Amino acid sequence: PQYSYLLVSEIIQQLESTQPEDSNYLEKRASLVSALKAILNSNVSLIGISVLEVLNALFTQLIQSLHDSGKSLVDTHSEENGFHYFIHQGLVHSIGGLASQTYYVNQLNDITSSLVSKLRVNSTDMVDGLSIKEYRRAAIRCLHCVAANSAKKPEKEDADTTPVYNHSIGLDTLIPAAGLLLDTASETRTEFASMLTYYLEETSEDEIGLNPYPKHTLSQQGDLNLANTLHLTLLNWIQLPNLEISDLLSIKKLLQAMTHRFGADETIRAVPLIFEIQSLAQQETIGSPCRQRAIAALVVEWLLIVADFYRVNSLIDYAQELKKERQGTGEYSAVFVQEDFNTTELEALEPDNQNTVHRFVERATVVEMLSKDGPLRDQDDPEGTELGNKLNTEWDASTMDEHNSTFRIRTSRNLSDLKAKLVTSWSSGKEPIVCEPEKKQTINVENLKEALVGQMEVSGLDVMNPLSKKSDDTFKDMSSLLQSISSGNNDSSPSTLFNPPYKP
């Protein structure tokens, strides 16, 4: 098993050598991919494998397979596309298998960053002969598989199953891909949101909202940066002109996943965002009545998510009553009521309904319920006064970073001090700077005698006494030696430790 990584390299070479004109081309590729999938997803460590090199080779083969199948990713199995399906799924799960074993500290972040770079945010319409939509779809599918493997929890925690390194993806590695939530293609937006939602849900803690006092899980700088980025992106996403039904459902699920993953910190920070979203519906500048009803309904759906998560019964009753009232007057969007849709366009969902929302969520009521009835107050804020001030903060994207300190954020360690640094070059002619404590501990020829005598006094051993005279003689010998060396030097000539026995 310790040589399995060599087999991986050999199989990839054979896969790269296959040509479309070869007989049994697809059968051979399917067999090789099946072997790769089995090896990379087995519970055997492939010590010595070049992770990123294998990742790039597998992704290149996936793009080649997309060309073979008509430039699209095959998701369903049928007799007609059987080999293409097995090849595509096998390569995707092989890439995911690289995340099942951790060989160095930053491996998962390197894999994730590599796949994120392949998403080609703000790229051209065509990449490697494929449409950017299909290219990103393949990369997102690989990213989803990596996230799924990295989020797996061991069945039992013992010495055999507990990983050596932290087996999780740094959330800040996903920030460069957040722009996909604003992509022109709705499928790209929802597919990336689905991957992000899945990982946030899988890595969230159980019953985080039921503690007497909030547990501050938004404690890493990378997590905070992602949360800030998603808040800004969600506000822009909901204003896209081609917003579809799937977009609104994805936004709701992503907001729910962020609540589950980041807990009280996210809930407190999301309140200004939610009421900023409601203000878009109140101003009636968001577009058609159908869009206005959908966005106003999203605010109520978020309240129900938060109220259920923290078991705030008063907020549940308030949101349910408001929802029921709007449904009775035709002011609640069918997006969050129906389960099956025969259209993707928001305006085509209720073409005859031109009603607009008249009664909106009262912020003062929500703040009061969350401050008094919800488990969001810190132990040193029994009356909820400080919490109420945070919940009443107005949305301002330019000042989001200024409020980071209010949520007990523990920034990650600055590892730059631990990295190797270049020292001052000796050829520069400058003396190296030595701090004062180091100067005091430096032993030179002049104080060698005192240092030796002090060391003997501390030890207090009689057996060291005879060495005192020897050290004194040594000091005299060394002093005379240095004097003889320096006496032969001329100030006008370059200094050297070697004096030739003759002068030229």
Dihedral sign (CA 486, 492, 497, 502): negative
pLDDT at 487: 55
pLDDT at 292: 94
Same domain as 242, residue 124? no
For the segment 118-150, what is each residue's pLDDT rounded down to a tens digit?
987 767 788 888 889 999 999 999 999 999 988
C-beta of residue 126 within 8 angstroms of C-beta of residue 107: no
Tokens 């009753």 — which residue? Answer: 317
Is 438 part of any domain? no
Higher-pLDDT residue of 482 and 170 is 170
Q: Is the pLDDT of residue 226 over 90?
A: yes
pLDDT at 438: 43
Same domain as 100, residue 181? no
Is 84 part of any domain? yes
The residues, any chain, with a CB within 8 Å of residue 99's CB and separated by 6 or more, are 108, 111, 145, 146, 147, 149, 150
The Cα–Cα gap between 504 and 497 comes to 18
Is 459 part of any domain? no
pLDDT at 37: 94
Same domain as 40, residue 138? yes
A 10 A CB-CB count for 110 gives: 15
Best CA proximity match to 341, nearest among 271, 244, 232, 269: 244
Same domain as 93, residue 239? no
Mean pLDDT (whole number) for 466-477: 50
For the segment 331-361, what is each residue's pLDDT rounded down to a tens digit?
999 999 888 888 888 888 888 888 999 999 9
Query: Which of 370, 390, 409 delimits the end of a domain?
Result: 409
Is 252 part of any domain? yes
Q: Which residues are paired to 244 by β-bridges?
A: 345
Q: Is the pLDDT of residue 401 over 60?
A: no
Mean pLDDT (whole number) for 446-468: 52
pLDDT at 447: 60
> Of 63-67, 79-83, 195-199, 204-208, which one has max mean pLDDT?
195-199
Q: Is the pLDDT of residue 421 over 90?
A: no
Is 298 part of any domain? yes
158-172, 176-190, 273-287: range with lowest mean pLDDT: 158-172
Dihedral sign (CA 342, 348, 352, 353): positive
Helix (H) or strand (E) holding 130: strand 130-131
Dihedral through CA 302, CA 308, CA 311, CA 315, nearest 10? 50
Same domain as 306, residue 280? yes
182-186, 296-300, 406-410: range with lowest mean pLDDT: 406-410
For the segment 363-376, what is each residue's pLDDT rounded down to a tens digit?
999 999 998 888 88
Mean pLDDT (whole number) for 159-171: 60
pLDDT at 96: 94
Q: Is the pLDDT of residue 59 over 90?
A: yes
What is the residue-wise DSSP string for 328-370? HTT-S-GGGT-S--S-SBSTTTSTT----------HHHHHHHH
Query: Which of 378, 409, 440 delimits the end of a domain?
Result: 409
Query: 3-state DSSP helix/strand/coil percent for the chain, to nearest 5?
Result: 60, 0, 40
Same domain as 358, residue 216? yes
Query: Which of 123, 153, 183 delimits the end of a domain?
Result: 153
Higher-pLDDT residue of 209 and 323 is 323
> Of 115-129, 245-259, 373-387, 458-472, which one has max mean pLDDT?
245-259
Same domain as 84, residue 16? yes
The Cα–Cα gap between 166 and 150 comes to 10
pLDDT at 143: 96
pLDDT at 379: 78
Higher-pLDDT residue of 412 and 447 is 447
Average pLDDT value over all residues in the chain: 79
Same domain as 196, residue 136? no
pLDDT at 1: 59
Mean pLDDT (whole number) for 167-180: 91
C-beta of residue 312 within 8 angstroms of C-beta of residue 339: no
pLDDT at 423: 36
Same domain as 176, residue 119? no
**Domain around 125:** 1-153
pLDDT at 231: 96
Is 417 part of any domain? no
Considering the chain, what percentage of its residues have pLDDT values greater than 70? 72
Is 431 part of any domain? no
Mean pLDDT (whole number) for 443-451: 56
Number of domains in the chain: 2
Mean pLDDT (whole number) for 15-30: 88
Mean pLDDT (whole number) for 420-435: 39
Mean pLDDT (whole number) for 460-466: 47
